[in-house]
């Protein structure tokens, strides 16, 4: 044989060995096979023919054959189907407890829908397909915001666990969904708002929010009826002293898992909004006298004189902090046990007046009354809001009178 021919044959043989070596080292043509389970060396890939001998179930082998028949454009051809059908994975054990936060979902939904309000009105007389398309667009944007980075990492970890489990079963269809979905969701180009599993999760969360809202309305209806029957706070006291009515309320709370926590969160949000309204003087209570409102200025002057502070060179931020401390000191010294009782009596009457008029602030004021007796009244947000609101009004009044 001529030397040149032997050289060409040797090169061909080397190329064959090189290609064979790549297969032995677990190289894959499928991008999603670059997971941790891929180990360099002589181990077979999960989707190689020899994987059937490595305790890999028929599901994996079936999937390999399906992908092989589809060719290199498998994901492109199956993108829409996978994204639509992946909702079935929510029934798998790895995803049964996956959930969006109910309160956050409602908050984000309201905010995003408000942004689309004009477009919704414009399409009132549009075609059904146009309306459906807009609904999908709104929902997708809501889901994009709800799927925070931490939430996405959690979903991808769950998909990893599901893939590991499904690899050992005969569920080739579910394995395909989990495996391809993980590849798609890991891509930054694929919006999570298009994912069927996320859409299903969002709809379930909205349903849950509606259930909690109905249950919440039933619970508060008991209190409203009690007040109506009693004509004053004696009706609410009657509930507290009636074991049967208390037990009935407890059963309603227990019948809806998470309702008690939901009510607590809702109450905190409403209290915070109420306190902000008091601070802005949208709700005028006038808890403190003019003389009491002057105390922080007296304390601040004492501080300036004691430390011989030059007001022309003073750090404004530090002075602001000191003024805040002066307000806390004022509240702490004003709210003696006698002053607390006086304020409670006054606010009790205000609360009953509001409740009779159907003012929702009446119930919130009742809750604030229950928090009024604290070890350190200067930390009470209701008292702080009331003091600040009155103080700002007092300052404007003084400036107006001087001018």
User: What is the C-alpha to C-alpha distance for residues 65 and 56, in angstroms, rounded to an integer?
Assistant: 14
Please give the pLDDT value at position 25.
Answer: 37
∠ Cα 206 208 210 (to 5°): 70
What pLDDT is attached to residue 77?
84
- Residue 169 is predicted with a pLDDT of 84
* Residues in CB range of 66: below 8 A, 6 or more apart: 172, 176
Task: Map residue 17 onto helix, strand or coil.
Answer: helix
Question: What is the token pair recorded at 146?
Answer: 């709800």
Q: Is the distance from CB of 180 to CB of 78 less than 8 angstroms?
A: yes
Alpha carbon of 277 to those of 111, 281, 388, 391: distances in Å? 21, 6, 11, 14
What is the CB neighbour count within 10 angstroms for residue 155? 22
Give rounded-to-5 percent helix, strand, coil for the chain.
75, 0, 25
403 residues of the chain, pLDDT tens digit each? 444 444 444 444 544 444 444 333 333 333 333 334 333 333 333 344 443 444 456 767 777 777 767 667 788 888 899 999 999 999 999 999 999 998 899 999 999 999 988 888 888 888 888 888 999 999 999 999 999 999 999 999 999 999 999 988 888 889 889 989 998 999 888 999 999 999 999 999 999 888 877 776 766 665 555 555 544 444 455 555 566 665 666 666 666 666 667 677 777 888 899 999 999 999 989 899 999 999 999 998 888 888 888 777 778 888 888 889 999 999 999 999 999 999 999 999 998 888 888 788 888 888 888 888 877 899 999 999 999 999 998 888 888 777 6
Res 228: pLDDT: 54
Which structure tokens are listed for 2?
A: 């001529």
| Upper half-sphere CA count for residue 241 (Cβ side, 13 Å) | 6
Sign of CA pseudo-dihedral 45, 50, 56, 60: positive
CA 278/CA 347 separation, integer angstroms: 13
Contact present, 235 and 229 (Cβ < 8 Å) = yes
Q: What is the residue whose two structure tokens read 């709809």? A: 203
Both tokens of 206, joined, read: 């909205």
The answer to whether 54 touches 64, Cβ cutoff 8 Å, is: no
């Amino acid at each position: 044989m001529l030397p040149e021919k032997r050289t060409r044959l040797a090169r061909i043989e080397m190329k064959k060995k090189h290609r064979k070596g790549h297969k032995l080292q677990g190289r894959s043509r499928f991008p999603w096979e670059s997971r941790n389970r891929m180990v360099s060396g002589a181990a077979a890939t999960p989707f190689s023919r020899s994987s059937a001998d490595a305790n890999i179930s028929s599901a994996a082998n079936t999937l390999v054959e399906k992908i092989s028949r589809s060719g290199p454009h498998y994901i492109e051809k199956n993108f829409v189907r996978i994204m639509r059908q992946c909702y079935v994975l929510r029934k798998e054990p790895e995803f049964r407890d996956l959930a969006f936060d109910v309160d956050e979902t409602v908050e984000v939904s309201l905010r995003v829908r408000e942004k689309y309000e004009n477009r919704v009105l414009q399409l009132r007389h549009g075609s059904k397909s146009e309306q459906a398309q807009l609904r999908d667009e709104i929902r997708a944007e809501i889901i994009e915001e709800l799927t925070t980075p931490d939430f996405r990492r959690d979903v991808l970890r769950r998909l990893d666990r599901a893939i590991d489990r499904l690899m050992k079963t005969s569920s080739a269809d579910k394995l395909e969904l989990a495996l391809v979905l993980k590849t798609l969701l890991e891509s930054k180009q694929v919006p999570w708002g298009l994912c069927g599993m996320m859409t299903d999760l969002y709809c379930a969360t909205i349903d849950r929010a509606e259930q909690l809202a109905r249950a919440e309305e039933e619970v508060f209806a008991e209190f409203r009826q009690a007040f109506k029957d009693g004509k004053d706070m004696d009706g609410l006291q009657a509930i507290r002293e009636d074991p049967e009515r208390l037990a009935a309320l407890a059963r309603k709370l227990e019948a809806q898992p998470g309702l008690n926590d939901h009510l607590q969160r809702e109450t905190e949000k409403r209290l915070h909004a109420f306190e902000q309204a008091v601070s802005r003087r949208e709700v005028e209570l006038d808890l403190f006298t003019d003389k009491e409102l002057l105390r922080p200025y007296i304390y601040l002057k004492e501080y300036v004189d004691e430390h011989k502070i030059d007001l022309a060179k003073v750090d404004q931020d530090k002075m602001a902090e000191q003024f805040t401390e002066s307000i806390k000191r004022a509240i702490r010294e004003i709210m003696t046990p006698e002053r607390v009782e006086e304020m409670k009596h006054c606010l009790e009457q205000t609360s009953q007046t509001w409740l009779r008029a159907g003012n929702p602030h009446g119930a919130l004021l009742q809750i604030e009354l229950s928090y009024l007796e604290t070890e350190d009244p200067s930390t009470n947000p209701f008292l702080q809001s009331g003091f600040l609101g009155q103080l700002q009004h007092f300052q404007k009044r003084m400036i107006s009178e001087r001018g």
